Amino acid sequence: MTFSLPQAWVLLLPLGLFLWKYGRRPGPPMWLRAALLVLIVGALSGPSLRLADAGSDVVVVVDRSASMPLDLDRVAQELISLVESQRRPGDRVGVVAFGREARVERPLSATGSFGGFSRPVDVEASDLSSALDAANALIPQERVGRVLVLSDGKATGTDARGAARRLAARGIAVDWRQLARPEPALDVAVLSLDVPSAVSVREPFQFSATVRASKAVTGTVRLERNGRVLVNGPFDFLPGTNVLPLRDLVEEQGLVRYRLTVEAPDDGVRENDQGLAVLRVEGPRRVLLLTHQPQGTLAKTLGESGMLLEVRAPFRVSLDDLDGVGAVVLENVDANLLGEAGLNALASYVAQAGGGLVMTGGRESFGDGGYRRSPLEPVLPVSLEMREEQRRAAVAISVLMDCSCSMGATVPDGRTKMELAAEGVVAALTLLNEKDEVSVHMVDTESHEIFPLRPVESGLPLGQVASGFSGGGGIYVGEALRTGRQQILRSEKATRHVLLFSDAADSEEPDDYRRTLAELSRQSVTVSVIGLGSEKDADAALLREVASRGGGRIYFAEDALSLPRIFSQEALAVARATFVDEPASLEAAPDLPLLGRLPTEGLPQVGGYNLTYLKPRASVALRTLDGNAAPVLAMWPHGAGRAVAFTAEVDGPFTGELREWGALRATLEAMVRWAAAESSPLGDAVVRSERRGHLLRVTLDLPPGEPLPGALPSLVLLPGDGRPARAEQPMRWEDEDRLVVEVPLEGSGTWHPVVRVGPRALRAPPVTLPYAAEFEPGGPKEGQVLLRALASVGGGIERLSMTGLFEDAPESEGSRPLAPWLVGLALAVLLAEVAVRRFLSGPRVRKPAVAGGLSTAGVMTAPTPSRETVRPTSTGTPPPGVTGAAPTGAPAETPGAEAPPAEKSVDSALEAARARSRKRMDR
């Protein structure tokens, strides 16, 4: 027996003393009262009884990676149903699915049946180790059971035997059932495409490809470099490993991508028929300028400065595009043109890879350009926060949200599109003023009111917005616009705006949208549209027309993760003044000398600037002399890189006198050179990267005799497609001058290893994974070896049949709480005590009163007459034959007078009342 609150037993002492002093009663009632006290204190202590037949927990772990059979879901659900049919009282079944990550599909349950897989997983990897750890966490520590693995045995994460040992330490065995594709008769797979780590421009080099064939076959080999075909012809493959010698020469610096494809008739696994490699062609670090004005002042200045300059229109950048780039310059570029992945890539490029970033101002930059709540906002040395002085006059906004069934689809991080849109709406509403008015409606085939038009100061039910639902068919655009018109025309605000959020591929029934938009335009109401999708989607033209006729803005969010940022951007454009469009004079700040010898007197006026605020620890070189005292030129080191913010417009209608300033070019060149400056090198240290299958091995060779770094170096692995960087992996010493680290590559694509040594970043040559590690050559027999090894750790077996699974599992020791039983028993004892005291226990015995003395109550009473006492006759004389005299001291009676009746004493009446009261209490 165990107690959840054993300290409660201490209460027995004070409560027992209280009962002895004030509730003591002889006989059975006293014993019942004592038992009642013990039962109450026992219930408070939380007792529970340990039982050895509380059933077992079985967790079914299902591999849902890409290498599994196509009918996996059906087969797995049938096996899980068979396991559930074996449950006994107390037995429970849970389900964990895994790919790159583990997902709990169903917690442990003693009833019901598994309804199918519902949570998405990344199928390009299979981390069996994390899945076993998830099963371990699912089974409570006080229970035991078994784990059943349904997999082909191809695991791409860390060694799963460690997780099996952790389960075995708890007495939980791992059983297995292999579900695998049939072994193909022929498999031709590209094992590797090996290129040098780096070459110089126009340097001839050789490289090779390794191809494995399960039997002799004649196939076709095709080699491309950046899409250009270099080799295309037949090749005779022998059984086993084949090495293909190749050569090339590259005339431009940057990152070069090679793609090798092999084709053979009757190849059973097409997924592993290609190889990828990237080659770094070295040269001077260059500056990448993204601008709409390739012949503008900034492009000419940087081109004439001697820096190697690459000028391009804004595009969705990746880390592959930034290899060999010393600094990226964004000249008045809207964040939506870079894409969410591009913003992530730029943030990683600066903070992790040690790159430089320069952002210049304008109507499409900083807050107006959608950088608030973006991955680049923390990188900038200025804050894009909104303060009270930036508020416009009060506005009214009607928000119309698409809640059709397509909004229920999930994104890679597990959230739905509806949740992201709701998060964006909530973020936008928090930017409004208390005097503003707003309404929110969700629309599918009809309008669903979240709340009508109301002032912000009255309080907004943001929780109702955040819990938005996804319902029926596509959004009816005409119905949505009519709802927005009805709401917004109720307001008298000077600025009235309608914001429509809709799926660019599922916007239906526009109806009389043109007439509705014309009426809104006559009433000076503007309409903006956020389309989820791309400009090529089926209904994108309709949404663009709605925004054009409504006099508002159009946004297309190809990545649903960008919705919160875009909603904030639109709210800022409507409700806040983030761009000052009036001339402002400049003054030199104390940190201007950090950029070199630049003039501090005779500074020009700017025609306008983006209103921002200097972050703590950032340096400011120029600021305005108006009431804002806002930074115009600010910089700071961020992570391993540097960032510069120039909030004035270099070329445009708000450049002002800045265009004629003689030191403009020197200032632009100085801030770009400051951002592109490399961190201090680490002597002659050399960093290398090598891919072995799906494992990446990175080494750092320190120069002999150099002092060792103060902190242990670590590896940051940056995905080339802009996904968030993985957590840093510490390196380990391999010998006295070399550190090494090995990490699995999570999915196909390009990976950029960066070794961090304190504040410095050393970029290793990038590597590629041509196909998911799931499709590396290897048949079902290799998978069986791993599954058997897992089972052998804890005594598991191969489960060809689900029968007997629970019989083989150990029984858990359950606990049954005893407090409810003790409370019930205490109620029974209480009733028994009342019954015994009232019906079976006699009254308390009291001492008789003493004649002429004090009663038990301490009251003087008269002597009680005996039975022989006879009342006198009416004449006052005793009857005949009776002798006696009146008591001594009694007054003499007057002859002939009638004797008065005997009077009751007041003291006697009080004593009688007390006796009745004591009798009631005793009952």
Predicted pLDDT of residue 841: 64
Quick: pLDDT tens for 826-879. Answer: 899 888 888 887 777 655 444 454 444 444 444 444 444 444 444 444 444 444
The predicted pLDDT at position 806 comes to 87
Distance (Å, whole) CA 655 – CA 426: 35
Nearest in space to 355 (alpha carbons), one of 677, 585, 616: 677
Give the whole-angstrom CA distance, residue 518 versus residue 902. Answer: 112
pLDDT in tens, 644-656: 999 999 999 999 9
CA-to-CA distance for 627 and 390, rounded, in angstroms?
Answer: 12
* Residues facing 232 on adjacent strands: 222
Average pLDDT score over the chain: 85
Average pLDDT rounded to a whole number, residues 409-415: 74
Name residue, tokens 């070896």: 785
Chain centroid to Cα 510, Å, comes to: 37
Read off the pLDDT of residues 511-541 as tens digits, 9 standing for 90 and up: 899 999 999 999 999 999 999 988 888 899 9
More confident residue, 679 or 118: 118
- Predicted confidence band of residue 2 (pLDDT cuts 50, 70, 90): confident
Q: Angle at Cα 650 formed by Cα 674 and Cα 564, nearest 5°?
A: 85
- The predicted model gives 430-442 an average pLDDT of 88
Please state, in angstroms and as integers, the Cα–Cα distance from residue 575 to each residue in 547, 628, 667, 811, 872, following that order.
Answer: 18, 19, 34, 64, 113
Per residue in 441-453, pLDDT tens? 998 888 888 999 9
Q: Which residues contact 677 (CB under 8 A, 6 or more apart)?
A: 356, 642
Q: What are the tens digits of pLDDT across the range 453-502?
A: 999 888 888 888 877 666 666 788 999 999 999 999 999 988 899 999 99
Q: Assign 24 a pLDDT band (cuts: 50, 70, 90).
A: confident
- Which residue in 717, 718, 714 sits closest to 757, CA to CA? 714
d(CA 144, CA 50): 14
Mean pLDDT of 650-673: 93
**How much of the chain exceeds pLDDT 70, in percent?**
88
Identify the band that residue 814 occupies on the pLDDT scale cut at 50, 70 and 90.
Answer: low
Sign (positive or negative) of CA dihedral 606, 609, 612, 617: negative
Distance CA 480, CA 401 (A): 8
pTM here?
0.72
d(CA 293, CA 300) in angstroms, rounded, equals 10
H/E stretch holding 743 reads strand 738-744
Q: Helix 819-835 and helix 28-44: axis angle, to 10°?
A: 160
Asked if residue 209 has pLDDT above 80, the reply is yes
Q: For residues 668 and 298, what is the distance between their CA atoms, to the nearest angstrom? A: 7
- Using 50, 70 and 90 to split pLDDT, how confident is the model at 216? very high
Give the burial class of 258: count Cβ atoms within 10 A of its Cβ; 0-12 exposed, 13-18 middle, 19 or more buried.
Answer: buried
Query: Model confidence over 358-393: pLDDT tens digits?
Result: 999 999 999 889 998 899 999 999 998 877 655 666
Asked if 372 contacts 334 with a C-beta cutoff of 8 angstroms, the reply is no
Ramachandran sector of residue 613 (left: φ over 0; alpha: ψ -120 to 50; beta: rest): beta
Output the pLDDT for position 920. 65
Average pLDDT over residues 759-784: 84
Q: Are 450 and 426 in contact (CB under 8 A)?
A: no
Q: What is residue 589's predicted lDDT score, i.e. its pLDDT?
A: 92
Burial degree of 222 (CB within 10 A; 0-12, 13-18, 19+): middle
Quick check: 82 pLDDT over 60? yes
What is the predicted pLDDT for the residue at 893?
A: 42
Helix, strand, or coil here: 59? Answer: strand
CB proximity list for 346: less than 8 A, separation 6 or greater: 317, 322, 328, 338, 357, 375, 376, 379
29-38, 361-370, 772-781, 872-881: segment of lowest average pLDDT? 872-881
Among 263-272, 443-452, 588-597, 675-684, whose mean pLDDT is lowest? 675-684
DSSP codes of every residue in 78-145: HHHHHHHHT--TT-EEEEEEESSSEEEEEEEESSS------S---TT---HHHHHHHHHHHS-TT--E
What pLDDT shows up at residue 887?
42
Which residues make beta-bridge pairs with 331? 360
pLDDT in tens, 308-353: 999 999 999 999 899 889 999 999 999 999 999 999 999 999 999 9
pLDDT band for position 204 (cuts 50, 70, 90): very high
Give the chain's largest Cα–Cα span: 162
Give whole-number Cα distances, 141 to 3, 93, 106, 200, 433, in Å.
18, 16, 18, 59, 52
Rg (CA), the chain: 44
Note the pLDDT of residue 190: 93
pLDDT tier at 773, thresholds 50, 70, 90: confident
Q: At residue 104, does pLDDT exceed 90?
A: yes
Query: Does the pLDDT of residue 704 top 60, yes or no?
Result: yes
Q: What angle, rounded to 10 degrees, do the helices at 540-550 and 477-488 form?
A: 20
Q: Which residue reads 């391999």 in tokens?
A: 734
Q: Are 382 and 412 in contact (CB under 8 A)?
A: no
Residue 26 confidence (pLDDT) above 90: no
